[in-house]
């Protein structure tokens, strides 16, 4: 690589091995490695992954420079090329930049405000159904539990109620095969002849079959469906042509990779932190009670108005951001402060590191939901930043709030294991809690008397609903609380 001879006037992280550089240590636990790199070297820290120079850039000024750089200078496409056989050729980084941008826009349209209102209903109902049989107390592994729940909410919001009722298990298993194939080995060569990649390709083909069947059925029968699949089916490129069936399948897989484990892991960490910080729970629970009672309607507008829960969630995302490395390849020399990062190098911005800088977050390892967050938008980056910021960030926050609201309105939580034993681990590229992640839950005492509760029996469980039911539609006007009614009236006005 021509850039190898260029001067790199910044500190190098210690401990590089002659073979592979820092690769083994990085793969073991990327978050831990990057934090060590920053502690040792500061704002600019160079490390070596199998001979390729990587530069970790930390802090608001560095993050801002990276996030403001144009795509043709700092590109996420080469570092994430191993996703192409998963999403499919012609999708995201397997497509030319101008096509990829339009696809990102289609993803964000599928998560638009008016659609989000119906997703809020879907998520709330899935959560209701999920907790309905928990009883008064018990103990669960919340890593597994929330993974299962978010698989259900995701398939439901993505593919609709019928698909959710019939195909969630198969979808989950096929998706798991794709996930298994996203590994360090795939970063080296995602097309190698191995069983795991062969299974990935078979599972993607089967996913294409089952999703394609739904697409064709909808094309035959018409009708409107308030889910993301329908949004992808209706989406048009700027020249007026629609996504092909192959592209629709790719969009579905892409949005799952972006939103599934990131959301379920965040929900798990939020519950663990609530269990570890009972002193914060009373305030948040009373806020939750003001917008929601078990069995009631939980709408989009109410969920937006939960500042205490939101701060707690933001502090959780500060310490446990599910994505630890955001990577960009330098396509043209990149000047920052008084240095130039040469073409061919890879730049890494790490939310995990950025959120632990003591000048910005005093006593950074301490979980403190009353902490003042910096006004600088580049100091807090759980969803990245700039024009490549996660398009699903509002949806993710909505989903986690919805889950936590339903749980806190019913139960109190406490750790089963010693509080310090719950740790950040990274068996894949997404940060999660150590497992088993056991919490004990107990029905809140005041939940029986002092708060207005609606009968949980008044709502049919999801599994009993007829598959073609309209469970994703908005509730009728008469049942909506006042704030929701105002919000939906406003939504109609906005659409007009």
Query: In the set 185, 394, 429, 465, which binds another protein (CB under 8 A)?
Result: 394
CA 269 to CA 415: how far, in whole Å?
A: 12
Instruction: Give yes or no for residue 387 binding another protein (CB under 8 A).
Output: yes
How far apart are CB 393 and another protein at their closest, in Å? 5
Footprint on residues 362-381 left by another protein (CB under 8 A): 377
Instruction: Give yes or no for residue 114 binding another protein (CB under 8 A).
Output: yes
Instruction: Give yes or no for residue 304 binding another protein (CB under 8 A).
Output: yes
Site string for another protein, 83-112 (x = CB under 8 A): ---------------x--x--xx--x--xx
- Residue appearing with tokens 């939310």: 351
Residue 336 neighbours by CB distance under 10 Å: 18
How far apart are CB 239 and another protein at their closest, in Å? 9
CB of 123 or CB of 301, closer to another protein: 301
State the maximum Cα–Cα separation within the chain, in Å, rounded to a whole number.
73
CA 63 to CA 58: how far, in whole Å?
A: 6
188-192, long-range: CB within 8 Å, 24+ apart, which pairs? 188/50, 190/81, 190/82, 190/84, 190/85, 191/85
How far apart are CB 100 and another protein at their closest, in Å? 11
Does the bond joining 436 to the residue before it have cis omega, within 30 degrees of 0? yes
CA 12 to CA 44: how far, in whole Å?
A: 9
Bridge partners for 55 per DSSP = 46, 347
CB of 273 or CB of 484, closer to another protein: 484
Instruction: Give yes or no for residue 24 binding another protein (CB under 8 A).
Output: no
Instruction: Give yes or no for residue 386 binding another protein (CB under 8 A).
Output: yes
Footprint on residues 412-441 left by another protein (CB under 8 A): none
Instruction: Give yes or no for residue 393 binding another protein (CB under 8 A).
Output: yes
CA atoms within 13 A on the CB side of 458: 8
How far apart are CB 387 and another protein at their closest, in Å? 5
CA 463 to CA 209: how far, in whole Å?
A: 25
Instruction: Give yes or no for residue 486 binding another protein (CB under 8 A).
Output: no
Stretch of 5-13, 208-216, 312-320, 383-391 lying at the interface with another protein (CB under 8 A): 383-391
Instruction: Give yes or no for residue 324 binding another protein (CB under 8 A).
Output: no
How far apart are CB 395 and another protein at their closest, in Å? 9
Six token digits for residue 196: 């795991």
Instruction: Quote the strand ranges of 432-489, DSSP E.
Output: 432-433, 438-443
CB of 32 or CB of 101, closer to another protein: 101
Please spell the DSSP secondary structure of 110-135, one letter per residue. HT-HHHHHHHHHHHHHHHHHHHTT--
CA 200 to CA 456: how far, in whole Å?
A: 41
Backbone angles phi, psi at 220, to 5 degrees: -70, -45
CB of 123 or CB of 274, closer to another protein: 123
Residues at the site binding another protein, with contacts judged by CB under 8 A? 67-68, 98, 101, 104-105, 108, 111-114, 238, 304, 377, 385-387, 389, 391, 393-394, 491, 494
């Amino acid at each position: 690589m021509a850039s190898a001879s260029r001067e790199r006037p910044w500190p190098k992280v210690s401990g590089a091995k002659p073979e592979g550089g820092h690769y083994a240590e990085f793969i073991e636990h990327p978050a831990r490695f990057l934090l060590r790199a920053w502690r040792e070297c500061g704002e600019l820290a160079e490390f070596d992954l199998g001979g390729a120079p990587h530069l970790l850039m930390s802090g608001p000024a560095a993050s801002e420079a990276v996030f403001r750089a144009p795509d043709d200078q700092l590109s996420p496409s080469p570092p994430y090329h191993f996703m192409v056989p998963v999403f499919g050729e012609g999708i995201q980084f397997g497509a030319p930049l101008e096509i990829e941008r339009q696809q990102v826009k289609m993803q964000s349209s599928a998560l638009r405000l008016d659609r989000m209102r119906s997703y809020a209903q879907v998520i709330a109902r899935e959560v209701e159904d999920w907790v309905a049989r928990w009883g008064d107390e018990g103990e669960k592994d919340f890593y597994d539990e929330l993974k299962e729940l978010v698989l259900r909410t995701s398939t439901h919001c993505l593919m609709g109620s019928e698909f959710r009722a019939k195909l969630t298990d198969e979808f989950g298993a096929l998706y798991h095969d794709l996930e298994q194939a996203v590994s360090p080995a795939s970063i080296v060569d995602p097309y190698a002849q191995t069983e795991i990649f062969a299974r990935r390709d078979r599972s993607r083909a089967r996913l294409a079959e089952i999703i394609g069947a739904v697409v064709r059925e909808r094309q035959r029968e018409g009708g409107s469906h308030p889910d993301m699949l329908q949004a992808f089916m209706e989406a048009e490129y700027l020249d007026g042509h629609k996504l092909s069936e192959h592209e629709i399948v790719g969009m579905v897989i892409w949005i799952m990779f972006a939103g599934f484990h990131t959301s379920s892991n965040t929900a798990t960490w939020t519950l663990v932190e609530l269990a570890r910080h009972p002193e914060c729970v009373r305030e948040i629970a009373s806020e939750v009670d003001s917008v929601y009672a078990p069995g009631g309607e939980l709408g989009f507008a109410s969920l937006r108005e939960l500042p205490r829960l939101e701060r707690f969630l933001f502090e959780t995302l500060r310490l446990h951001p599910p994505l630890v490395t955001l990577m960009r390849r330098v396509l043209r020399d990149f000047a920052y402060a008084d240095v130039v990062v040469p073409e061919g190098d890879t730049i890494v911005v790490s939310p995990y590191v950025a959120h632990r800088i003591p000048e910005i977050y005093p006593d950074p390892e301490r979980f403190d939901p009353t902490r003042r967050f910096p006004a600088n938008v580049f100091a807090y980056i759980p969803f990245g930043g700039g024009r490549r910021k996660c398009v699903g960030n509002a949806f993710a926050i909505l989903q986690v709030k919805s889950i936590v609201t339903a749980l806190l309105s019913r139960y109190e939580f406490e750790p089963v294991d010693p509080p310090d034993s719950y740790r950040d681990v990274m068996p894949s590229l997404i940060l999660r809690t150590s497992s088993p992640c056991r919490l004990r839950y107990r029905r809140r005492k005041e939940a029986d008397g002092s708060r207005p509760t609606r009968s949980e029996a008044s709502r049919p469980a999801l599994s009993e609903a007829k598959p073609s039911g309209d469970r994703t539609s908005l509730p009728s006007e008469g049942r909506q609380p006042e704030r929701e009614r105002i919000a939906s009236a406003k939504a109609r006005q906005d659409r007009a």
